[in-house]
Amino acid sequence: MNPNFYAVILAGGVGSRFWPASTQAHPKQFHDILGTGSTLIQQTYQRIAHICPPENILISTSEEYIDEVKQQLPDIPENNIMAEPARRNTAPAIAYAVYKIYAKNPNASVLICPSDHLILKESEFHRIATLGLTLSQTNNVLFTLGIKPTRPDTGYGYIQYLPGPSLHPETRKVKTFTEKPNLELAKMFLESGDFLWNAGIFIWSVQSCRRAFEMYLPEIHQTFERGLPLFNTDQEKAYIQKVYPSCENQSVDYGIMEKADNVHVIPADFGWSDLGTWGSLYEHLKWDEHGNAKVGTHILSFDSRSNIIRIEGDKVAVIDGLENYIIVDTPHALLICRRENEQLIKNFVNEVKIRAGERFV
């Protein structure tokens, strides 16, 4: 493996659209959502370990999940687990990781990916990621991975690219980004043939990333640039505790990718899903003869179709006469929601927090 190849797994999110299975105390990346025997973050780590040396894999997560990360990924060196003392979106989290890597290896290229995505064609993912890491070693570019869309999905961001190859036969220059369009616009994007889903997976050299932060997010750049002499020392934690909470709350997509003029995309088809909703999970589970996806020990369904049913623990559940529903039962909460209304789950979570208390979310 190339010693200049690094990876950062972003594992600080709450995954509120997967409530009530995913909660702030135990979010979805730490769950075996698919019933494979491995949690999502474990699957992500195992996938990346084929691309980068294990000592070059870093985890960015919230302070409250440090023990969970250590338990689920015991092979990760403690210095490679970065604790965010406050939630400040992806730009500060990525800056912290990239500048920490730069302090150790200024020739590094970095793959940055979420901890809770599904990738079915892992060998193709390895190939695409290695291509991006290799190209970023010698080019001042910011790569993002784009997924060839299969439907006019309104829950994803879209990337429009210019015709013809850019740096390589498989790469394209990015023209525009569009966040979660309405259905009519999403249909137009699909028909045009030059739009991709934004997977939120980035590849760039630490040199290119530092230039981008300096140009587009200068305050974040200055914060972590000042910390370079302290990173990977026993003074790192105290410095991060001091400066991180005052960082701008900003996504790297809006803060850099939508503004930079050196963004390129690698169109890919490696069986990707962001597993952002119960509906997206439904597509990847086994169905019974009536289209019900069941995760649980004793689930009996009668006159019921096209439901996703998840029952935790050694509990029997009887479902009768429901069609196109999400039914999720946990020790602390029960959700029964029409599948078409799954985008409202975040609203339900807010209402639960207000009416019943934060311990349920």
**DSSP track, 266-286:** EEE-S-EE---SHHHHHTTS-
Query: Average pLDDT of the chain?
Result: 95
Length of the chain in terms of residues written: 361
What pLDDT is attached to residue 36? 84
The one-letter code for the residue type at 185 is L
| Three-class SS state of 342 | helix
| Three-class SS state of 198 | strand
Please check the confidence at residue 277 and state whether its pLDDT lies above 90. no
Q: Show me where the domains of the chain are located.
A: 5-273, 278-360
Average pLDDT over residues 92-102: 98
Average pLDDT over residues 178-191: 92
Rounded-to-integer distance, Cα 296 and Cα 314, Å: 8
Please check the confidence at residue 15 and state whether its pLDDT lies above 90. no
- Tokens standing for 151? 């439907």
The one-letter code for the residue type at 83 is A
Please check the confidence at residue 39 and state whether its pLDDT lies above 90. yes
CB proximity list for 169: less than 8 A, separation 6 or greater: none
* Domain range 5-273, CATH class: alpha beta
- 270 to each of 9, 123, 213, 266, 267, how far by Cα in Å? 18, 8, 30, 12, 10
Helix (H) or strand (E) holding 318: strand 316-320
DSSP-derived secondary structure for 85-150: SS---HHHHHHHHHHHHHHH-TT-EEEEEESS-EES-HHHHHHHHHHHHHHHTTS--EEEEEEPPS
Closest CA to 308 of 274, 331, 332, 342: 342
pLDDT, one tens digit per residue, over 305-346 is 999 999 988 999 999 999 999 999 999 999 999 999 998 999
pLDDT, one tens digit per residue, over 251-264 is 999 999 999 999 99
Rounded-to-integer distance, Cα 43 and Cα 321, Å: 36
CB 175 within 8 A of CB 297: no
Please check the confidence at residue 297 and state whether its pLDDT lies above 90. no
By the 10 Å C-beta count (0-12 exposed, 13-18 middle, 19+ buried), 78 is classed as exposed
Question: For a pLDDT cut of 90, what percent of the chain falls above it?
Answer: 88
Only one residue has tokens 């966040």, namely 179
Please check the confidence at residue 17 and state whether its pLDDT lies above 90. no
The one-letter code for the residue type at 272 is W
Rounded-to-integer distance, Cα 256 and Cα 213, Å: 7
pLDDT, one tens digit per residue, over 113-169 is 999 999 999 999 999 999 999 999 999 999 999 999 989 988 899 999 999 999 999
Please check the confidence at residue 80 and state whether its pLDDT lies above 90. yes
Contacts by 250-254, CB closer than 8 A, 24 or more apart: 250/88, 250/89, 250/90, 250/91, 250/92, 250/217, 250/220, 251/89, 251/90, 251/91, 252/89, 252/90, 252/91, 252/94, 252/202, 253/90, 253/157, 253/177, 253/198, 253/200
Rounded-to-integer distance, Cα 96 and Cα 358, Å: 29
What pLDDT is attached to residue 48? 97
What letters, b where the CB count within 10 A reaches 16 and e where it falls short, cover 265-303? bbbbebebbbbbbbbbbbeebeeeeeebbbbbeebebee
What pLDDT is attached to residue 69? 97
